[in-house]
Amino acid sequence: MKIIILLISFFTINLSAQVDYHKYFTDACLRIHYYHYGNSNEEEAVPGELYQDSLWAGSRVNLIDTLNLGAYLVKVTDLSSNLLIYSYGFSTLFNEWQTTDEAISGNSKVIEEVVRVPFPKNQILVEFLKRDEQNHFTRSIGNWVIDPNSGQVRKENRATGLRVFDILSNGPSAQKVDLAFIAEGYNQFEMENFKTDVNRFTDLLFQTEPFKTEMGNFNIRAVFKPSVDSGVDDPARNQYKNTVLNASFSTFGSQRYLMTFDQLAVTDIASAVPYDALYILVNSNFYGGGGIYNLYACITVNNKWSDNIFIHEFGHSFGGLGDEYYTSDVAYNDFYPTDVEPWEPNLTVLLNPNRVKWERFILAGTPVPTPWNKVKYDQENNNYAERYRKLNTENSSNKKMNNLSESHQEWIDHFFDGHPYKNKIGAFEGAGYASSGIYRPALECIMFSNRKIAFDPVCIDAIRNRILFLSR
């Protein structure tokens, strides 16, 4: 029976891979807005507006997602043939909100979200699936029929009042990863600042593996729409700005978590260019950012740690990587159950120490779990977190907060220097916001700390897989 199931799965995957793009899709993009509604236990996707954007940037070959990333999966089925013609995994702000105190206390919430698919030629069934308790895509939270030839699809140009800049061009969008930078909180006099920031972060991206090696598989564009005000909302500092994307610090009550819920504004501006990935650059000098898989990444551009955060958040939004740290305050509660293997490629709950998901990277003789003097590390980080929290509560200057961070980083440097496993892949306990029960591949990685701007080999491999999937 196991052999039959494997053969059927293999046959199905190959059938999906052979979907003829031009038979079912045009070169345009269908933008599907919907409302994600529910609480910590129940949720539903309710249809909203539909838009036609000018150009679909994705692969014309890899139409069925085989990467198994994201908390949700959108499936597009051609109604006339009942054939699955497109799918991809993604994550959402709603999914994160479900683990916050607000959701757990019984409150419900509505968050507008967006998925984008190639524009279909005929009627389609769109279905949203969420992972079940075993992390399989079995729970349907909504499905509905879309007729692209009806009047329900809005086709007006919504990318107005903006400027587009080509930063890097390596070929047709369908065969490259198209990354778009979007300006947030830059006023009409700060366009050149935005262009400078885009070039700086583009250079940084291609100094970092695997992007350095895969640079030829990328196109980069920047989209500038001026905000009325310079800066961004910061509720903790009683600062509110009129900006084009309505981004704000203190998302879900976490001061450094900087995101926007205004997906209409984001995708209207982004529709000016073809894109596979979005990066929002926020004109602020405070520490902050965020990144959600297949949605967008967001960072402040003028903080001491902006370079580190830039790479870290792109690891989330592009590579589907999980956070490997566990000592910082977050808004989530029990984000990863310790009896189910996480879908993120760089996290494991080590249900079977002899079969780690990244076992091919572990050298013979490396113990699993891998010891790393965690108690000493935890003591220092607890002291640092308390001091940082105190400065933040007192609305201390950015200079004071940076000085504290620098002192802490010096301790981290000393701690890791000469560690016997600093360049080894193993299973190091402490990851995914949990001090115990969840493991990361390496002692250090940009997904774990700000010590160095580099991914470990497991993360590099996961990111490269997505680059190659999108650029075929």
DSSP 437-458: EEEEEES--TTT-SS-S---HH
Query: Per the domain annotation, does 186 fall within a domain?
Result: yes
Query: Per the domain annotation, does 365 fall within a domain?
Result: no
The DSSP bridge partners found for residue 279 are: 181, 297
The CA–CA distances, whole Å, from 349 to 211, 345, 440 equal 28, 12, 9
Looking at the fold, whether 150 and 168 belong to one and the same domain comes out as no
Looking at the fold, whether 190 and 214 belong to one and the same domain comes out as yes
Query: Per the domain annotation, does 448 fall within a domain?
Result: no
Chain centroid, CA 291 distance in Å: 4
Query: Per the domain annotation, does 413 fall within a domain?
Result: no
Looking at the fold, whether 276 and 202 belong to one and the same domain comes out as yes
Query: Per the domain annotation, does 251 fall within a domain?
Result: yes
Looking at the fold, whether 294 and 178 belong to one and the same domain comes out as yes
Domain CATH number, residue 54: 2.60.40.3250
Looking at the fold, whether 120 and 236 belong to one and the same domain comes out as no
Determine the Cα–Cα distance for residues 389 and 374; give it in Å rounded to an integer: 22
Q: Which two tokens stand for residue 69?
A: 């990333």
229, burial (CB in 10 Å: exposed 0-12, middle 13-18, buried 19+): middle
Report the pLDDT value the prediction gives residue 408, as an integer from 0 to 100. 84
Report the pLDDT value the prediction gives residue 140, as an integer from 0 to 100. 98
Considering only the C-alpha atoms of the chain, give the largest distance between any 2 of them, rounded to a whole number of Å.
67
Looking at the fold, whether 135 and 168 belong to one and the same domain comes out as no
Determine the Cα–Cα distance for residues 320 and 440; give it in Å rounded to an integer: 14
Last residue of a domain, one of 286, 302, 318: 318
Report the pLDDT value the prediction gives residue 328, as an integer from 0 to 100. 63
Chain centroid, CA 283 distance in Å: 20
Helices 191-205 and 306-317 cross at an angle (nearest 10°) of 70
**Under 8 Å between Cβ of 382 and 327:** yes
**Under 8 Å between Cβ of 247 and 233:** yes
Looking at the fold, whether 79 and 213 belong to one and the same domain comes out as no
Report the pLDDT value the prediction gives residue 319, as an integer from 0 to 100. 98
Query: Per the domain annotation, does 422 fall within a domain?
Result: no
| pLDDT by 10s per residue, the chain, length 472 | 233 233 333 333 334 447 999 999 999 999 999 999 999 999 999 999 999 999 999 999 999 999 999 999 999 999 999 999 999 999 999 999 999 999 999 999 999 999 999 999 999 999 999 999 999 999 999 999 999 998 999 999 999 999 999 999 999 999 999 999 999 999 999 999 999 999 999 999 999 999 999 999 999 999 999 999 999 999 999 999 999 999 999 999 999 999 999 999 999 999 999 999 999 999 999 999 999 999 999 999 999 899 999 999 999 999 999 999 987 666 566 789 999 999 999 999 999 999 999 999 999 999 999 999 999 998 987 888 888 888 888 888 888 888 998 898 888 888 888 899 999 999 999 999 999 999 999 999 999 988 899 999 999 999 999 999 999 8
What's the domain range around 299? 163-318
Query: Per the domain annotation, does 57 fall within a domain?
Result: yes
The total number of structural domains that make up the chain: 2
Q: What is the DSSP letter of 359?
A: G
Determine the Cα–Cα distance for residues 237 and 316; give it in Å rounded to an integer: 27
Query: Per the domain annotation, does 428 fall within a domain?
Result: no
Looking at the fold, whether 308 and 167 belong to one and the same domain comes out as yes
Looking at the fold, whether 191 and 309 belong to one and the same domain comes out as yes
Looking at the fold, whether 115 and 177 belong to one and the same domain comes out as no
**Under 8 Å between Cβ of 120 and 152:** no
Determine the Cα–Cα distance for residues 85 and 112; give it in Å rounded to an integer: 25
Looking at the fold, whether 28 and 112 belong to one and the same domain comes out as yes
Determine the Cα–Cα distance for residues 429 and 439; give it in Å rounded to an integer: 4
Helix (H, G, I), strand (E, B) or coil at 421: coil
Looking at the fold, whether 28 and 150 belong to one and the same domain comes out as yes
The DSSP bridge partners found for residue 83 are: 78
Any idea what the Cα angle at residue 302 is, between residues 299 and 307, rounded to 5°? Answer: 60
Domain CATH number, residue 234: 3.40.390.10
